[in-house]
Each structure stands twice: as structure tokens, then as C-alpha cells.
Amino acid sequence: MPTTTSHSPRCATPRRRAAALVAALLLPALTATPALADEKKDDKGRPPAQPPARMSTVGGELLGKPGTQVRLGPGAPALPKELTGRSWLVADAESGEVLAAHNAHWQLPPASTLKMLFADTVLPKFPKNRQYKVKPADLAGMGEGSSLVGVKEDQTYSVRDLWLGVFLRSGNDAVRVLASMNGGIPQTVKDMQAHAEALQAKDTHVVSPDGYDAEGQVSSAYDLTLFARSGLQKADFREYCATAYAKFPGEMKKDGKRDTFDIMNTNRLLTGANGMTAYKGMAGVKNGSTTNAGNTFTGVAQHDGRKLLVTVMNPENREANEVYKETARLLDWGFEAAGHVKPVGHLVPPPGVADRTGPSGVPGTADSSQASVAGSGGGMWTAVGITLASLVAVAVAGFAVHRRWPLPDRSRRQG
């Protein structure tokens, strides 16, 4: 697909890269505001086709306005033209600066991207080597057509196995088992909602921990980006969401042997599957798709020491890979635009934790240092190591916001 960025798109073919280099750029208006429509849901319970006139202003006044928000400076590339997502956001993952956004606080069904909140809430509670035997009740109540990794009752799995099932295959069965370990679905929903509120993710209402369509279950591009940023502070979260392929346990045989089967991450910008090309520097985070939500995706990528988060929700273009293509275009734009745009807002830290304020006046911009990176032979970007020296943190009441955290190698490694 063509792109309007002025540098080579990181998931394009050489021919497309060459075409992109000579593409002419035009500066768009700083803010585009569409006509507003009735905010009532349609007869199928889906959200309206247009955003509400007033949305949350968490993170900045501009983020509460409908339409595209961007403040282009000298040398800034134009935003990509081919963006059809109902809502999207581009942010610096470390400083929290929001470089551009479109209907950032529009409350929409999140699909399985809500599993980022589930993981950020529940993952710290259980050691990865803990073993758990699945009970029949653990798998009860899953929605029709749920994505599954293949968890079987009366079989034993490690917590690590289950998290790989959540992140790679978006397995609602693995979610149900982990939720059972956490005290059940109602308790887990309660915990997730409390954690969302602690993160100031005020657009989010949790009904089901797996993101399956449920009446009243909503989030926003802004909130999903907050969940990703919070989760990426955790080494296990980074590992799981960056794993492209893994072995998952099968059923125990009568002779005591247990086979495994291969599972592949459904993030097509990570694996390059289903007609997509893997995006250089991609290291997670989570994709999703349901009837009401359409396709949703939050991705994190690193290039030349800069880490960007992009969330895209429900593209109007229904092509199978559209959510990934629009994410890739926004990542291309963000890497090119960084330093040439003024932030339109910021990703807020949790209550009681204050990012430092930089020259732009946006929290989190004072420390521009990045984790060390090196290019592998395959052209991938990887953090040098996970050490105390590579982490800069601000801690309050046990919560740490790491200003520098290494992303795992986006290699096709086995989990």
C-alpha cells in the first residue's frame, strides 16, 4: 500500500520504499473535525458511526476533541492519507508524548486488546513456573466462536504456558483458567476495573476479562495505549508479547508422555503472516477482532533507540490486514515526525506518580535518553540487556514507571 511518509516504510518492499522516497508531501490542516451524529447505539448494540461532541480530556484538552489532532512543525511529514480507523493514537512509549491522535477518547468495543489490561492486572500475581491442573468449571461460559489455544480440562499447565496462550493465540480458554486462579471471573473483572481506574483509564468499562463482546464493555485508543505502556514495564509482559512462536503442551498420554504443538502469534506485524511483512522493530503488543469491535490493534516498535506505541480501532476499510497496514503507516509517520511535531497531549502516569516535564511542557519529555540498541544481522533492533543500569524509574507507593525499558528481540524465537 502506498504511504505518505517521506522515508522508507519499514514493512514495505524495495519497490514501495523507492516510491515512498519520491512521494510529494502536503501539510494538512492541524485539526479536522467531522460532523457529529446521534450518540445512541444502533439496533445491534454497536456504537455510533461518529464520535460524541464531548469526550474525556485526560491527557490534554485536544485529546477530548473529535477528529484528527496534530501540530505539525517545520520539516514534519504529512499524516498518511489512507487512515480509516474510527480512533487511533501515536505516542512516544517512554516520554508519553502523544504525537497525533484521532478521536482518542472515543469509547468503543475493544475486542481482545482488552487482554492487555487483563495481563497487566493478573500477571504479577503468579510465578511463571507455578503448575495448575485445569478443572471443568474453569472453561465454562466462554462465548461462542471464542479464540482458543487448546487448553484441556484435567491437564496441568504452567502459568507461563497459559500466558503464552493468551498473548500468542489470544486464547479465551487460557484467560478463563488464569481468571479462575485469580478468584473467578467476577473478581477478575473487579480487579481489572480497579487497575484501569488507577491508571486513569476512565474510558474503560470491563465486563469480560477476555474482551469478548459484552453489553457496555468499552475502552478507547487512549486507554488501550495506557494499558500497553503499563504492561511493558514488566519483563514477563514484554517477553510474552514479543514471542512469535512457541510450543504449547498437548494432552498427557497414558504412557506418561506429553507431546507439544506449535502456536504462532496472531500479531501479523510481528510474524509477517497472512500476506503481511513483519515490521522492523516490532515487539508486540496485542490485536483483537470481534463483531462489534471490528479489528483493533496496539503495537510497540523500536527504531534508532526510539520506541513508539500506536493503537488503531475499527478501520472502516474491512480488508483483512487493514488494521496492521494503518498501524504500520502511523509508525512510519511517527518515527519520521518525532522532533518535528508538538505533542497534542500525553499519556498520564498513575495517580501519585509524576513524569518530569520537558521543554515542550508535556510531562515526561525531560529525559530523552533511550535504551541501548543494536541491529542484528536480520535488520532487527534489540535491547542490549535487562539490567538495573538500563532502567530509570520513578517509584511511588510501590508503582514504578520505567523511563527506559528494553524491548525484546523481535526474532522468530521459540517461546
CB 234 within 8 A of CB 375: no
Extended strands (E) in 197-290: 245-252, 258-264, 282-290
- Helix, strand, or coil here: 259? strand
The full DSSP string for 3-30 is ---SS--TTS-HHHHHHHHT----PPPS
Return the H-helix or E-strand segment holding 195: helix 185-198
Which residues make Cβ contacts (< 8 Å) with residue 81, sequence separation at least 6?
4
Q: Which helix (H) or strand (E) holds 131?
A: strand 131-133
Out of 95, 170, 220, 289, the active site residue is 170
Q: Establish whether 372 is a catalytic residue.
A: no
Check 8, 95, 115, 230 and give the catalytic one: 115
Give yes or no for a contact between 78 and 25, defined as CB atoms under 8 angstroms apart. Answer: yes
From the candidates 8, 112, 208, 219, give the one annotated as an active-site residue.
Answer: 112
- 169: helix, strand or coil: helix
Asked if 115 is an active-site residue, the reply is yes
User: What span, in angstroms and rounded, lies between the C-alpha atoms of 82 and 45?
Assistant: 28
Residues labelled catalytic: 112, 115, 170
